[in-house]
Amino acid sequence: MADVCVIGLGYVGLPTACLLANTGLDVLGVDSDATRVEALAAGETHLGEAGLDVLVSAAFKSGNLRAAVNPEPSDVYIICVPTPVTPEKSVDLSSVEDAARSVAELVKPRDLVVLESTSPVGTTRNRVGRILSGSGMEPGRDFALCYCPERVLPGNTVAELVSNDRVIGGLTPKCAERAAELYGRFCTGRIVLSDDITAEMCKLFENASRDVNIALANTFSRLAEAAGGDVWRAIELANLHPRVKILSPGPGVGGHCIPVDPWFLIEAHPEAAGLLREARAVNEGQPVLMLDRMMAEGLAPGGAGGKLAVLGVAYKANIDDPRESPAFGLAREAAARGFDLALHDPLVRPGHYDGFDVGRDLGGCLAGAAAAAVMVDHESYRALGPDDFRAMSGTLISDARNCLDHGALRAAGFAVLVLGVGLPETGNRAPGQ
C-alpha cells in the first residue's frame, strides 16, 4: 500500500514521483519498462535533466520512493504516460488506456486519479473516466478524477515543476480541490482550479499557439529571403514595439510536444483547425527549403562531393534530446535525394536515431563534406570558426540559427547561407552582406 502511485517514469512522471516522495509521502513509481525500473533502483536515470540525479537518489535513499512494473493499491494515482501521434497523425491513447485499466482494478472510494499526459479534449472524462467506471464506482462521485497538465520546459523540468503555475481541472470542483492539496505539497507557483475540459484545452492551446507563432516567424523568414532582407534584424526591430513579440525562425520545430500536440486538435475538428494545419506544414517544410536553397547554390548529390554534414541533432540548443528533431527532416530529405550524410551533436548520446548514426566527432563529420548545415545554436557551435570547417571538401555552410560568425567564415572563403537572409549571389542582398 502506497500513498501515491505515479504511472510512467518519463520526463515528467519521474521528477513528479521524486518531488512527492521528498515531501514525505510513500510513493510507488511504475513503469512498464523493467530495465528502466532496475536502473532507477540502482540510482541511474536515463534523462539528462538538471538536478534530476540528485533528486532521484535522495528520494530512493529516503525509502519514500520505490519503483516497480505494476501499480499497487494507493490513495492517489497519477498517470504520466506518453500520448504519441501515429505517422498518420492520429493520437495513440493506448498507454493512457492501459494505465487507466490498471487503476480501475485498484481504485477505491475517496481515492484521487489524475491524468497528466497531454491528451485530446475530453480524454479525462470520456476515455479515462469510462474505463474507471468499470470499477463499479462513478468518477467525480465515488472518487476524484482530474486533469492536471504539466507545462515544464525540457532541460529545466525539475525547477519548473516546482515553480510554474499549475492548472487543475476536476470533474467536479471538489475533485480539483483534492488534487490542489496534493500538488500544493511541492508546487510553489499558483494553483488555479478549473474543469477537466478547460484544462485539457489550455494545455493544447499553449503548445498550438507556440507552433503557430514559430510558423509565423518561419513565414517571415521565407518572405525575407525572397525580398533580399534580413529576418533576424527585422524581427529584432519589430519586437521594439510594445505589443509585438515575434519568435525566432529556424529549421523547424522539434521535441515531443509542440510538433505533436496541435494534431490532437486538428484530428478532432479538422474543419475548425485550418490555421493549425497550415502552421504544421510551414514548420515541417523548413528543412526541405534549407536543402533546396543549398542545392540552388550548386550542392549536388553523388560522387565525392555528395556528403552533407548535419551539425546539431538535439531538437533545440544546449539539450541532449533528439526527439522529432528537424535535423532528421533534413537528413531524410537529403538521403532521399541521394546525398551521403554525417550527423554530429556534442550533447546527444552517440547512437542510431531515426535511421541515422549520430556521433560526437566533429572533425570526422565534416571531413570531405561538400556542405555543412548547422541546425542548432548549441553554445559550442556558436564558437566554431573557419579552422573548424577546414576539413570540408566544399565551402558551403548553411546556418539555420544565425549563430555563426558569418564575417569570419566569408573572409576565409566559405559561402554562408543564413536562414531568413536574402542571398547576395542572386541580387537579393541583405543590407550589410
Residues with catalytic roles: 203, 257
**Strand ranges of the sheet holding 351-353, from the earlier edge strand across to the other edge:** 351-353, 356-359, 340-344, 307-311, 371-374, 396-399, 415-418
Shortest Å, Cβ 209 to ligand SAJ: 7
Cβ-based nearer residue to ligand SAJ, 95 or 118: 118
Identify residues 315-334 at the interface with ligand SAJ (CB under 6 A): 315-316
Which residues is 192 bridged to in the sheet? 167
Shortest Å, Cβ 315 to ligand SAJ: 4
Closest by CA to 168, choosing from 185, 145, 186, is 145
Cβ partners under 8 Å of residue 2, min gap 6: 26, 27, 28, 66, 72, 73, 74
Cell of 234: 527585422
Shortest Å, Cβ 150 to ligand SAJ: 6
Closest by CA to 265, choosing from 216, 206, 205, 213, is 205
Cβ partners under 8 Å of residue 194, min gap 6: 167, 168, 169, 170, 176, 202
Identify residues 253-272 at the interface with ligand SAJ (CB under 6 A): 253-255, 257-258
Binds ligand SAJ (CB under 6 A): choice among 16, 74, 117, 248: 248
Residue 58 lies near ligand SAJ (rule: CB under 6 A): no
Cβ-based nearer residue to ligand SAJ, 102 or 118: 118
Binds ligand SAJ (CB under 6 A): choice among 54, 153, 275, 300: 153
Cell of 297: 547554390
Q: Which of the ranges 97-105, 244-252, 290-298, 302-310 carries the binding residues for ligand SAJ, by CB under 6 A? A: 244-252
Cβ-based nearer residue to ligand SAJ, 178 or 378: 378
Q: Which of the ranges 23-31, 39-47, 137-145, 251-259 carries the binding residues for ligand SAJ, by CB under 6 A? A: 251-259
Closest by CA to 15, choosing from 29, 2, 32, 3, is 29
Q: Which of the ranges 36-44, 193-201, 233-241, 243-251 carries the binding residues for ligand SAJ, by CB under 6 A? A: 243-251
Cβ partners under 8 Å of residue 243, min gap 6: none
Cβ-based nearer residue to ligand SAJ, 229 or 326: 326
Per-position DSSP letters for 286-320, written without gaps between them: HHHHHHHHHHHTT---SSTT-EEEEE--SSSTT--
Binds ligand SAJ (CB under 6 A): choice among 212, 214, 294, 372: 214
Residue 178 lies near ligand SAJ (rule: CB under 6 A): no
- Eight-state DSSP code of residue 429: P
Shortest Å, Cβ 320 to ligand SAJ: 12
Under 8 Å between Cβ of 79 and 30: no
Residues in contact with ligand SAJ by CB under 6 A are 118, 151-154, 206-207, 210, 214, 247-248, 250, 253-255, 257-258, 315-316
